[in-house]
Every structure is written in C-alpha cells, then in structure tokens.
Amino acid sequence: MSFNDQDPFAPVTADLDPQETAEWLESLDAVAAKHGRGRAREIMQSLLRRSHELQLNVPLVPTTDYINTISPEDEPKFPGDEAIERTYRAWMRWNAAVMVHRAQRPGIAVGGHISSFASSASLYEVGFNHFFNGHDHPAGADQIFVQGHASPGPYARAFLEGRISADEMDNFRQEKSRPKPGRGLPSYPHPRLMPDFWQFPTVSMGLGPINAIYQAQFNRYLQGRGFKDTSAQHVWAFLGDGELDEVESRGALQLAANEGLDNLTFVVNANLQRLDGPVRGNGKIIQELESFFRGAGWNVIKVIWGREWDALLANDHDGALVNLMNRTPDGDYQTYKTESGAFVRENFFARDPRTLKLVEGMTDDAIWDLKRGGHDYNKIFAAYQAAVNHKGQPTVIIAKTIKGYGLGKSFEGRNATHQMKKMTLENLKDFRDAMRVPISDAQLEADPYQPPYFKPSEDSPELQYMHERRRELGGYLPERRTNFVSFALPEEKAYAVPRAGSGNQEVATTMAFVRMLKDLLKADGTGERIQMIIPDEARTFGMDAFFPTAKIYNPNGQKYMSVDRDLLLSYKEANNGQILHTGINEAGSMAAFTASGTSYATHGQPIIPIYVFYSMFGFQRTADQVWLAGDQMARGFMIGATAGRTTLTGEGLQHADGHSLVIASTNAAVVAYDPAYGYEIAHITKAGLERMYGGNHPDPNVMYYLTVYNEPMLQPAEPENVDVEGILRGMHLISKNPADGHKAQILASGVSVPWALEAQQLLIEWGVSADVWSVTSWGELRRDGLVCDEKKFLYPNEVAPMSYVTQRLADSKGPKLGVSDFMHAVPDMIRPWVPGSYATLGADGFGFSDTRPAARRHFKIDGPSIAVRVLEQLVEKEKIAPSVPQQAIDKYRLHDVNAGTSGSAGGDA
C-alpha cells in the first residue's frame, strides 16, 4: 500500500538485551491469552502514552490490523430484541427496494438507487432503535445526516411508522405529477422539497461531511453563547467510502479534532465500491481512512468482521488469518462476495495452509455465511456505544459492508449495482425469500412491475416494538420542525448611521455596512443573535474593531498571551465569543453559515449569520454549498466585500469579481443586491431581517447577498421621501436632470453609480439631459419580469401585469443604458422589460492589476465611456449628428487607459 509501508518499530540497531525483550513479549502474550486481546490492547495503549511522557520518540502507528477495533470480550450486551429488529428491518429493505422498482414501471422510469441502503440498513437501524434522539427527547434532538443515495431507507421506515402512505411511496421521484394522493417524495434528502421530513441535504457528495463537522461545532457555539444546552445532542453523519475522495469530505477533519468535537460521529459505509467500481481495487480503503482520520486526531473504530469470524480469529494463534486479512486487497474482497463459499475457501483461505486448516471443519455454506461487520447488530451497537462514550475526540466508525447486500447474486458486489434500479421476477422472489416477507408468488406474478409493499397490522408485535423504541428516544426521525423562539427586531435607530451619510468623509460601502453592523449588535433582542463569520479578512473589512468586544469564538478560550494584548483592538478569543473566525477557509465558512442559518429549525433558536467574504472567493468557490444552503432553507446575510471587476485595485485577476451577481442569480434562494450607498444598505438589511425573521413574509427561507466595495467615496444622506419601495424592488431614481436637451436614462448599480453621475455632467456639454437610476438589484427586477411574463403566457384572457422595470421606465424618455462593475450579463438581466432602446456596458473577461481609473477605461465602463455610449444611442435614434460620438471619443481619449479618471485611490485590499 502507499501508506505505512515501513515498520515504525524496526530497530535501527541490534537488540541490546534479547532476553529482557523476550520476557516483555512473554508477559504481553500471557495477558492476551488470559484476559483477552482487549485487555492486551489497553496495556499497550497505556505503554504508548507513557512512552510519550518519557519522550522516547516512539512514532505513531497510523493503522492497526485489518480486524475489528473492539474485541468480542469487550462488546457490551445488545440491549434490544435482535430477532424483532431484524424482522422489521427486512420489511424496510423490501419496501425500499420495491419503491424504487415500482418507479421504473413502463412509461415512468424515473430512476433511483437500491444498493446503497441495502448495504447500510443495519447501520441505520441500530441507530434508529437505540441511539438517535428525537425532538421530544429531554436532551434535544440528534442531527442525522443520511447518506443521499440511501434515502429509500428512511422512506421505508416512515412507511412502517405510518408517517408516509403507500400512495406517497408510489409518488417517489414524481413530486409534481404525483400519480397517487398525498405528497411527492424527492429523490434524495431535500428539506426544501419535503420541509417537514428532511433536515440535511447530503447528495452533493462531500458536502455532508463538512456540514456535519460545522453543525457539531455550531452546537457547541450555541451552548457557549448561552442559548441552549446542547451537551447531550449528537451529530451522526453517514457517508460512503467513495464519497471520502471528495476534498470537502476530509478537508475539515482537523477542525473537529482541534475543538474536541466528541459530539460528532462519522459512520462510513465501507462497501468498497463507488459508483463505477472499486474505491481502491489494489489497496485497502479502510486502512487508508484509518490512517487519515487517526493522523487528523480522530478516534477510529473499525467494524470489519461479523460475529461468525470471532471463533476463527480466536483460534488464529500464530496470526496467519490476520496476516492474510492484512494482505488481501479490496478488489479481491469485492470479488469474493460475488462468488461462493467454495470460491472463498479456494481463493482466500487456501492461500495459506494454516488458514485453510482453520476452516477445514466448515461447510462451504458456513464459509459463505461469514458476514461483514457492517451487517452485524452486535458489532455495530458496540461501535456506536463506544463512540458516544468516547470523550475529547470526534469518532469515525468504518464499517465494512456489501453493496447490494441481500438483493441476490445479480446485485451484490457488482460494479454496476449502483445503477441497477429494477429487479426481474426471479430477483423479486429470491429477495422476498431472503427477507422472509409474507408475499406470495401469485402476488408477484400478477404484475412484476408493481410488486406489493408489505406492512403488517398496527397491533403486530414488530410495529409495537418499533414505535416504543422511538417513543423512548423522543419521537420519529427524520423530522424537521420550524417553531422557534421570537425576538425583537432592531428599532429604527440601529439604521441611523448609514442613512445619515458620511458628511465630508469618504467612506466605502463596506465600511458603511460595518458601521451599521456595530449598531445592530447593540440592538436589544437581535444583537446577541448575530453571528459574524469571517474567513481571516476581518482587518481588510474593518471588522477587527469587533475583536475586543464581541470576541472570537474558541471553545477553549484564550490560553496564550496575545501579542497585541495591550492594544485597544486586541485579538481576543473566548468560549462565548460571537465571531466565528474560520481562517482562510471559504468552504468551512459556508458550512458554518448553513448550520447557523438553519438553527431556527434545527434548534428552535434563530441565529442570524452575517458572513463577510471576498466576493470572488466566497461565491465563486462555494456556489454548490450556497445551493445546498438554499435547499436546507438557511436564512442570513452573505456580504460580498471588495466586489467588482475594477474596484479591488491592484489585486489582479484572481481577486477581480465581475460575475458573483450572475452566479447568485442562478440560486432561487438568494436575494442579491448591488447597493451604491449606505442608506440603501440600511433599507435592504432592515427588509431582510423583517422578511427572514419577522414572521409575516410568505417566503422567509432566503439568503440575502449584498455586494459592497472598498473604494472610498462620499456617502450621501438619505434623501427626503426616499423611494424605499424602489430600493427594495430593484431600482429608484436618484438624479433627475432638469436641464434641457435630448433625454437619456442611465441605469447603474453599486460603485458604478458615481460614474453614471459623472457621465450625466459630461453629457450636458453635448446637449443631453440624462437621468440617473440606482439599480439596487438587477436580479430581483429580472425575477419580477419573469413572473409577469409567466402570467401573461399562462393566462392570456386576463389583463397582463406590467413588470416593475417597465412601470418605472414607461414615462422616461430617451435611450436607456445599463452599467455596473460586473460583466455585461448583469445589466443584461433586465433587457426584455426595458421599453425602447437599451444598451449595456460591462467588464467582461479577466481582471488585472492596475489603478481603478485605468481598469475602468480598459473595460470602457467609466464616466466618459458611458457618455459616449449614450451619444451613440442618440445617433441610432437620429437625435444628434453621426459625427458627435467620434468627437467625444477623441475629446476623452477613450482608447487611452492612462486618460481614465473615474475612481479614487485608497481602500484596503
């Protein structure tokens, strides 16, 4: 294998005292023989700990033998009735497979996955029967991240529980066309599509693990802040071994270890297969994962072999079987489970005469019945119990299973099993027999496309037992609740500073937002519920002023002497800190945002995340996570600071954001704004808080995205009778030009508004009277237009509604020009609804390092460029002479980047 291929205990010199060494080894042998391997392991662990205390420099052993971590003698007694539990688990497995199979009937064939839940049913059921606390448990509910492709399992359990009907099972993957009464069941865990059932989206593989880590961290944060006692709540994340190749799956493991998140357990379904074939055909994924997690500081529990192997391992006195297990690659293990007991005897045990002798008294059928640990209730229960009892570290349980387990030879372990969605009549009969489901051949033969579900009478002992287990654990899961404690929203005074303007001081909109945030943090009822999430750029954004007062969350407090302890703005950490400082880590920040922004549902405690990030790195890098947050119905504010293609002066190509608003427009849960002034930010923020947490909006499950800039400028005071509706709906008139001349309308957003005002003045010289509009949200204007178009399309006999853009510009004369510090696609969003002539300017292409005026001149979006483009539009309307635009181009030296003047210097980068 590619890891741990050297013996870490290999002596560099000859043994100085072989006799003494032999005595130590004999003592260890005696302990193992008399008290068992578990006790011998305890002694070895104690010796290793003492070796570190004595500074003997004994290296870490990243992997252990390919056997169960918990020895049989250390396993607790299984507390339940295994026979009953296995009986209704078999019914669930039947119903889950049949639900997917029925969804492939002729004319439908909507897909689905059978094999993932088949391999992991026991892993889930031990949890549901003995560990997973529901919402009515005195300690609070656990959070269960169900592996996406295993969704048929929870549906099948809910069917037996009476929470999902047989008709709804037939609506699987037909959420709109529902052939039967009731709800449609989404393909995977999607809270937005099934908001009373699913809590955590997981099927964008890799995002479940990182979100589970930050959910566990948030649980501790919530307790540290004094909102709720979460000490007994546990986060369980069910993952696939192939999924752990995703960077996000492993990238945050150190955070869980560093913060000692013993409220977190990963359960890895190690069926050795990903979607197309083996995860590590030539290697051993379980050993690799053990090494990786242990190196990251996790407690590792391997559940590899079922109880049928215990006697063989106990008789493996010379370690031949363990050695064979260690040397056999995963590709062989996968093949064995597609063959037979005779094949396993010949190709596995017969590779060593000593191991062949171990099984000489076993029949081929008995060898075939040697099970993997992930299908053994005793082994799983022991691992789960050890995980919840372990303190100081997160735990990963790596359970070896068979993909397609129990589905028959056509499914088990096959490379194509992930894509196999339906069964033949023979498959159905074999599966029915294996699961001991009381369904007759005649019932199956009547319609092989529609085999029946099975559910016994409600008074059956199995269902009574199942209901009692969930009652004792606090109710059914999965379940999502949305009742949360109410709190007072900020009063008007919290928004006073940005609405008053900046006087003679030049202030960037980033700083205008931060000054408002300072007052929001003081607001009774709201302030303490704000969680600031900052990925290591607080000083850039002017937010380091919050360090001494709000403090940075650290569960361990601050145990070191800070280098800036004597400064007014010192760096202070505390276990009740309000700021989550995630480091250079946008993926972690977005996972934290999701946990915080869904706390209203997960914990009944609304927390308002305000995530401030470089707009380029935050939205572009983590758009998939923002999509997941929308699915999970997160609420909060994302602040894209240092926005714009030309505004983050000097930083260059990778930092120059000209498209985050385009990406934001693709997410239906994101309400995106590009405000120009502080007073606009104030109204948008107030409206956002009222929509998300005021309790009166029909769609509160949104995230607000505000782009803010680092370019200092004079912030005007809020005008009298300001058009608040226009600000919130997407556009308002900020400068109506009273001068005579040809009319034009300039629509600008964000940092480009000053360039539009500059162009307004330049155009007077050419006999043009231009009005300037501040477009606060191109995206919201587009959504409004699409809604109007849809109504016009679907209800042709009714009076068609007019889009907001059309309404506002209906009486405005002259050509219209849209401009921003983003690519053309941003102002182009509203093109279908702009009456009359409409053109756009934009910063398409890659950014570069230069001054703001030079960059804006290069992209032709500065004041003179706006003026020239308006003149060209007037030529097209035959309002002015064709020679005028060229005169303006020459006058402003439009082709010379050094002639640019639009923009100032300064502002942190």
C-alpha–C-alpha distance, residues 248 and 393, integer Å:
20
241 is in an annotated binding site: yes
> Virtual CA dihedral for 583, 586, 587, 588, nearest 10 degrees?
30
Task: Please check whether residue 384 is in contact with residue 397, taking contact to mean a CB–CB distance below 8 angstroms.
Answer: yes
Helix (H) / strand (E) element for 734: namely strand 731-735
Residues with Cβ < 8 Å from 114, sequence gap 6 or more? Answer: 96, 97, 100, 101, 152, 404, 407, 411, 420, 421, 423
Task: Please check whether residue 441 is in contact with residue 429, taking contact to mean a CB–CB distance below 8 angstroms.
Answer: yes
Copy the structure tokens of residue 374: 């992930």
CA angle 642, 552, 643 (to 5 degrees): 5
Three-state DSSP class for 472?
A: helix
17 is in an annotated binding site: no
Task: Please check whether residue 798 is in contact with residue 818, taking contact to mean a CB–CB distance below 8 angstroms.
Answer: no
The secondary structure of the chain in percent helix, strand, coil, rounded to multiples of 5, reads 45, 10, 45
Specify the DSSP class assigned to residue 814.
S
CA angle 388, 392, 396 (to 5 degrees): 55
Task: Please check whether residue 508 is in contact with residue 750, taking contact to mean a CB–CB distance below 8 angstroms.
Answer: no
Copy the structure tokens of residue 141: 């509910």
Q: Which of 887, 892, 877 is nearest to 742 (CA)?
A: 877
Nearest-10 crossing angle of helices 18-35, 37-53: 140
Instruction: Count other C-beta atoms under 10 Å from residue 791's C-beta.
Output: 14
Q: What is the largest CA-CA distance in the chain?
A: 108
Helices (H), 554-622: 586-597, 599-602, 615, 621
Q: Which of 859, 862, 850, 852 is nearest to 888 (CA)?
A: 862
Task: Please check whether residue 716 is in contact with residue 501, taking contact to mean a CB–CB distance below 8 angstroms.
Answer: yes
Three-state DSSP class for 533?
A: strand
C-alpha–C-alpha distance, residues 840 and 273, integer Å:
51
Copy the structure tokens of residue 472: 């004792």
81 is in an annotated binding site: no
Task: Please check whether residue 402 is in contact with residue 123, taking contact to mean a CB–CB distance below 8 angstroms.
Answer: no
Three-state DSSP class for 125?
A: helix
C-alpha–C-alpha distance, residues 812 and 806, integer Å:
10
Identify the sign of the CA torsion 167, 173, 176, 179.
Answer: negative
C-alpha–C-alpha distance, residues 573 and 589, integer Å:
18
Helix (H) / strand (E) element for 47: namely helix 37-53
Task: Please check whether residue 249 is in contact with residue 279, taking contact to mean a CB–CB distance below 8 angstroms.
Answer: no
Q: Which residues are annotated as a binding site?
A: 241, 271, 273
Q: Which residues are annotated as a binding site for Mg(2+)?
A: 241, 271, 273
